[in-house]
Structure formats: structure tokens, C-alpha cells
């Protein structure tokens, strides 16, 4: 199955010839129409339960998917379960896109590959959030580096499918309001291991641009 790198997705939809990776910009972005929430129309997802990764539609295993429709924003929250299995992280795909789908913001305080100096969620000696010395490290084979919270704008429909088969991971998908994305990406970093989020909405594709 063809896989689409998340960072390339929004730009590819805008222009079939564009190939450069979207650059992070600042912590504000265009407020698009949110006339409906994003809602599910079909699935093999698992429903949220207390203790689970945040998300209304939980895609925990290879092949689990959710069909989504609507005009609004959604959040895909990641969990890299390196203690369950390490290897290449085959990212979820965004397939059968009708209408507009844009990657607009990354938040939650970190990207998976960010240098990390703190208590590991499992094991010890973790240099980033994708592994630890006892387990080894998972990695993104296409070189992407998702934020823990990946936020998208949908005006139409899309199917999101989990392709876990190397390194273990989960994603939790849920509708989110524009205002809540702004709160997320503007949250003051709690410590040296966290950072402000970024906007990636293509309508701000001219600057201010950050090279980081």
C-alpha cells in the first residue's frame, strides 16, 4: 500500500508538483470554517476508555481505521510504545481524501525525536522519546518526526488507518476546536524537555518562517 508522509501531505494536496517539507512558522494560524465537528462514519477503531491514550477513535493495531467527515479540525495524538516493540514506525495513512485535508499544527510540547533528558516512560537512558537503552529505539523510516499532537483541518472526508508492523505505536483521533489548538501550541513549556508548538497551515506559507 502506498504511504504518504504526514509532513508532505498538506503541500502535496495544494500542488501536485510541490515536494519540499512544510516549514514550521509561528504559534498563530488561519482560522478556517468549523461549521461542523469532524465525525466518524465507519470504522474498526476502539472506543476511548479511561487510561487510554487521549482520543475519541483509538487506532491501536495494524489495520484499524476510522472514516471521518466534516468541516473542522481534528487532532491525531501519538504514543510510541517502544517497550512493546521497536523497529520502523510505519505511520498512519490518510486515504480516500475527498475535499480538503491540511496539516495545520504540531503541539503537545514535543516531537518524538527531540533530545530528552528526564525520566523515561519505560526503561532508562532514553535520549529521545522513541526508545531506551534496554529496548533500543524505534524510528520513522521516511525521516519524518511527528509531534505528539498532530492537528489537521478537514473539509470533506478521509480514512485514517494504522499500519503498525515494526515499532509499536498507537494513535488517538478526535475532533478539536481551533481555539483549543491555539491553546495547545501556545502553552508555555513546562521544562527543558518541552517546547511551544508550531503552525503549519499552508496559507501562511510566506514568512515568518523558522528554520528549526
Ligand X SMILES: *[C@@H]1O[C@H](CO)[C@@H](O)[C@H](O)[C@H]1NC(C)=O
Nearest distance from C-beta of residue 7 to ligand X, angstroms: 12
Q: Does the footprint of ligand X cover residue 113 (CB under 6 A)? A: yes
Select from 7, 24, 65, 130 the one that contacts ligand X (CB under 6 A): 130
Neighbours of 171 (CB within 10 A): 25
Select from 137, 153, 178, 200 the one that contacts ligand X (CB under 6 A): 137
Q: Tell me how far CA of residue 62 lies from CA of 65, 157, 161, 168, 207, in angstroms.
A: 9, 21, 8, 9, 38
Q: Does the footprint of ligand X cover residue 139 (CB under 6 A)? A: yes
Contact status, residue 64 vs residue 45, Cβ threshold 8 Å: yes
Q: Does the footprint of ligand X cover residue 123 (CB under 6 A)? A: no
Select from 12, 43, 145, 204 the one that contacts ligand X (CB under 6 A): 145
Binding piece for ligand X, criterion CB under 6 A, among 65-73, 134-142, 171-179, 198-206: 134-142
In the complex with ligand X, the residue whose CB is nearer, 13 or 138, is: 138
Which one, of 169, 179, 201, lies nearest residue 84 by Cα?
169
Contact status, residue 86 vs residue 167, Cβ threshold 8 Å: yes
Q: Does the footprint of ligand X cover residue 128 (CB under 6 A)? A: yes
In the complex with ligand X, the residue whose CB is nearer, 53 or 127, is: 127
Q: Which segments within the chain are labelled E, that is strand?
A: 39-43, 46-47, 57-59, 65-80, 93-111, 131-132, 136-137, 147-161, 169-176, 198-199
In the complex with ligand X, the residue whose CB is nearer, 95 or 114, is: 114
What is residue 12's three-state secondary structure? helix
Select from 57, 60, 65, 112 the one that contacts ligand X (CB under 6 A): 112
User: At 203, phi and psi to the nearest 5?
Assistant: -70, -15
Q: Does the footprint of ligand X cover residue 166 (CB under 6 A)? A: no
In the complex with ligand X, the residue whose CB is nearer, 142 or 180, is: 142
Binding site for ligand X (CB under 6 A): 112-113, 127-128, 130, 137, 139-140, 145
Amino acid at each position: 500500500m502506498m504511504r504518504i508522509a504526514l509532513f508532505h501531505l498538506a503541500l502535496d494536496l495544494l500542488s501536485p508538483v510541490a515536494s519540499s517539507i512544510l516549514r514550521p512558522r509561528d504559534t498563530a494560524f488561519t482560522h478556517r470554517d468549523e461549521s461542523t465537528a469532524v465525525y466518524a462514519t465507519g470504522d474498526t477503531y476502539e472506543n476511548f476508555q479511561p487510561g487510554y491514550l487521549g482520543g475519541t477513535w483509538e487506532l491501536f493495531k495494524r489495520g484499524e481505521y476510522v472514516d471521518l467527515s466534516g468541516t473542522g479540525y481534528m487532532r491525531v495524538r501519538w504514543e510510541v510504545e517502544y517497550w512493546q516493540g521497536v523497529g520502523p514506525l510505519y505511520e498512519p495513512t490518510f486515504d480516500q481524501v475527498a475535499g480538503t485535508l491540511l496539516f495545520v499544527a504540531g503541539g503537545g510540547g514535543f516531537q518524538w525525536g527531540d533530545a530528552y533528558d528526564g525520566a523515561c516512560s519505560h526503561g532508562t537512558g532514553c535520549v529521545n522519546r522513541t526508545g531506551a537503552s534496554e529496548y533500543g529505539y524505534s524510528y520513522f523510516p521516511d525521516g519524518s518526526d511527528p509531534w505528539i499532537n498532530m492537528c489537521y483541518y478537514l473539509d470533506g472526508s478521509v480514512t485514517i488507518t494504522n499500519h503498525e508492523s515494526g515499532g509499536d505505536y498507537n494513535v488517538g483521533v478526535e475532533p478539536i476546536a481551533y481555539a483549543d489548538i491555539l491553546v495547545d501550541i501556545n502553552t508555555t513549556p513546562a521544562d527543558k524537555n518541552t517546547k511551544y508548538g508550531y503552525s503549519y497551515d499552508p496559507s501562511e506559507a510566506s514568512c515568518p518562517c523558522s528554520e528549526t
